[in-house]
Chain A
Amino acid sequence: MSELRDPPRMIDSQDGVPSFLRAALEAERRNPGPDADHIEQLARRLEVADAALPSGTKASAWTWSRLAALTGVGLVAIAAAAVEMRSRETMAPAVATTVPKPITAPPPLPVEQHRADEPPLVHPDELPTAAPTATASAPVARRTTRAAESNAPARPATTESAEIDLLDRAHDALRSRPAEALALCDKHQAEFADGRFTQEREALAIEALVYLGRRDEAERRWSEFQQRYPTSNHRTHLADLFPSPR
């Protein structure tokens, strides 16, 4: 079984990372965020919200719908309440509003769909073509629990490497040479029909089709993507390519 190891972080890597980039990463890591006064100011605004929200009379429809969206719970009920509240706020603000159903425990956020029979993977930084600069001066490696728990046979590193190489080339070509990117995706599909990175390939292919102006094909493939990977966070990016309501 191959052992998954976290790659060295760029800030710790001595090879190949421009000094200005390392300095910028260090500067951002030290970024404390907003100052205490700013946080206190925002906290006071939240105290007002804390006082207002339980009554349900001051929360805006926007707030309730945002809560529902953020927590992923009770979406329909809260959206309905939000519409009702908006209506009342607009039509008759003096009338007490209905308290929407409280939001209960948020469920664990969904994990992107993947096959149960997926084998463990050799880390890309251990592969010949992926992030070659990351292999030197590796700090103490961590072993992940997911890797340790997997009993599936390891996929050959060369296969993973070839997949990553193809998809990286497709990604590099995507904006300036979408036809080439799509051809590389097709090549990946032909050579790695059940490959590790089918989700990445499909996302690239959809974007390439959009850039090529092949909207029908793109939309068909996008629809299939949503069915196959209903919780993929590629959906956020890809949805931007299809502005009409879906």
Chain B
Amino acid sequence: MVDGAPIRSSAELFREHGAFVWRLLRRLGVPRADVDDLTQDVFIAVHRALATYEERNQVKAWLYRICVREAARHRRSRPPASSVEIDDLDAASPDCPESTAQVNEMRARLDRLLAILDEPRRTVFVLYELEELTMAEVAEAVGCPLQTAYYRHASAKKEILTAARRLELKGLR
């Protein structure tokens, strides 16, 4: 046991961080149908380990690392997804949990753009561009050298921009 913040139940932790983890797992590519279960898995593991975890005052940083690992593991457990056709991006997404149709469609389009990326580059892109971590924090969460994080981000950004510009030219906005 370590000194520091009191140990809380997984439910308490979930109420505080659950929405963040759920959203992060979705951004990392976990399908809507699986994200509830996976989110709960993360918190059960967190609760179990918090008893002796020396960084329990830094739960969120730890959650990033666990979510990255879990999303990767989940993707690995699933059959390889078929490649995404950029030109299909104007089709409606059946997998978007948002409120208004317009916002819905914007997020769905982004989700399908992200699906172009392989898992390492998607992870770095999401953590940097959407979660707004610093690149050092991204490297920490991913568990890769800082240089690798920079490369993955630059490469992901290039691919996303190329795809987005193609869409723009075709008027599929």
A contact set with B: CB distance below 8 Å: 4, 6-7, 9-11, 16-18, 20-21, 23-25, 27-29, 31-34, 39-40, 42-47, 49-50, 53, 63, 66-67, 69-71, 73, 102-106, 109-112, 114, 118, 120-121, 123-125, 130-131, 133-134, 142, 144-147, 164, 167-168, 171, 175, 196-197, 199-200, 231-234, 236-237, 239-240
Size of the chain B interface, CB-CB below 8 angstroms: 82
Mark contacts of B159-173 with chain A using CB atoms, 8 A cut-off: 1 yes-contact digit, 0 otherwise: 111001101100001
**Do B161 and A70 touch across chains, with their CB atoms under 8 A apart?**
no
Known: A18-B164, A20-B168. A67 touches B48 (CB 8 A): yes
Given A70-B42, A145-B136, A11-B129 contact (CB < 8 Å): yes
By the criterion CB–CB under 8 Å, are A104 and B51 in contact? yes
A70 and B41 CA atoms in complex are apart in Å by 8
Instruction: Report B149 CB to chain A, min CB distance, Å.
Output: 10
Question: A175 and B109: CB pair below 8 A?
Answer: no
Q: Is B34 an interface residue (CB 8 A)?
A: no
Q: Is chain B's binding surface mostly helix, strand, loop or mixed?
A: helix
Contacts of B123 in A (CB 8 A): 233
How distant is the Cα of A42 from the Cα of B155 in the complex, in angstroms? Answer: 37
Which residue of the partner chain, among A39, A102, A104, contacts B19 with CB atoms under 8 Å? A39
- Closest-CB distance, B75 to chain A (whole angstroms): 6
Q: How many A-B residue pairs have CB under 8 A?
A: 231
| Chain A residue with Cβ nearest B169 | A18
Find out whether the CB atom of B154 lies under 8 angstroms from the CB atom of A33: no
A70 proximity list for chain B (CB < 8 A):
41-42, 45, 66, 69-70
Q: How far is the CA of A146 from the CA of B164 in the complex (A)?
A: 33
CB distance from A217 to the nearest CB of B (A): 20
Q: Which residues of B contact A102 (CB under 8 A)?
A: 48, 51
Q: Which B30-85 residues have a C-beta within 8 angstroms of A?
A: 36, 39-45, 47-49, 51-54, 62, 65-66, 68-70, 72-73, 75-76, 80, 83
